[in-house]
Amino acid sequence: MKRQRRAVLLTALAATLALSGCGGTANRFVKPGASASPTPALHVNPADNATDIPVSAEVGLQDAGDKLTAVQLADAGGKSISGKLRDDASSWVPDEPLDYATTYTAKVTATSTSGKSVTGTSRFTTMQRPTSRMDAHLYMSDNAVYGQAMPIVVEFKQGGVAPADRAAVERRLFVTSDPPQPGVWHWDSNTQVEYRPKDFWQPSTKIHGRFALGGLPVGGGRYGQQDITIDASIDTVRRQIEVDNATKQLTAKQDGAVVKTMAVSLGSPQHPSFYGTMPIMEKYDKTTFDSSTYGTPVNSPEGYRTDVQYAERLTWDGQFIHAAPWSVAQQGHTNVSHGCVNVSTDNGQWIYDWVKVGDPVIVKGTEVPLGQGNGWTAWNLPWDQYVKGSALADVGQSTGATPAPSATDAADAQPNPSAS
- The residues annotated as belonging to the active site are 322, 340
Among candidate residues 369, 381, 317, 403, the one with its CA nearest the CA of residue 151: 381
Name the nearest CA neighbour of 350 among 269, 301, 406, 285.
285
Q: In 144-281, which ranges are E strands? A: 145-146, 152-156, 173-178, 183-187, 192-197, 206-211, 217-219, 222-224, 228-234, 239-244, 249-254, 257-263, 274-279
Spatial distance between the Cα atoms of 207 and 195, rounded to a whole number of angstroms: 12
Nearest 5 degrees, angle CA 19-CA 23-CA 25? 105
| Residues pairing with 307 in the sheet | 288
Provide the Cα torsion 136, 142, 147, 148; round to 10°: 80
- Burial of residue 170 (CB within 10 Å: 0-12, 13-18, 19+) is buried
Helix and strand element counts for the chain (H, E): 5, 29
Question: CA 262, CA 264: separation in Å to the nearest integer?
Answer: 7
Three-class DSSP labels, 64-79: CCCEEEEEEEEECCCC
- Distance between CA 323 and CA 305 in Å, rounded? 15
387 — phi, psi (to 5°)?
Answer: -65, -20
Using CA atoms, how far apart are residues 8 and 390, in angstroms rounded to an integer? 81
Residue ranges of alpha helices (H) inside 68-181 are 166-170
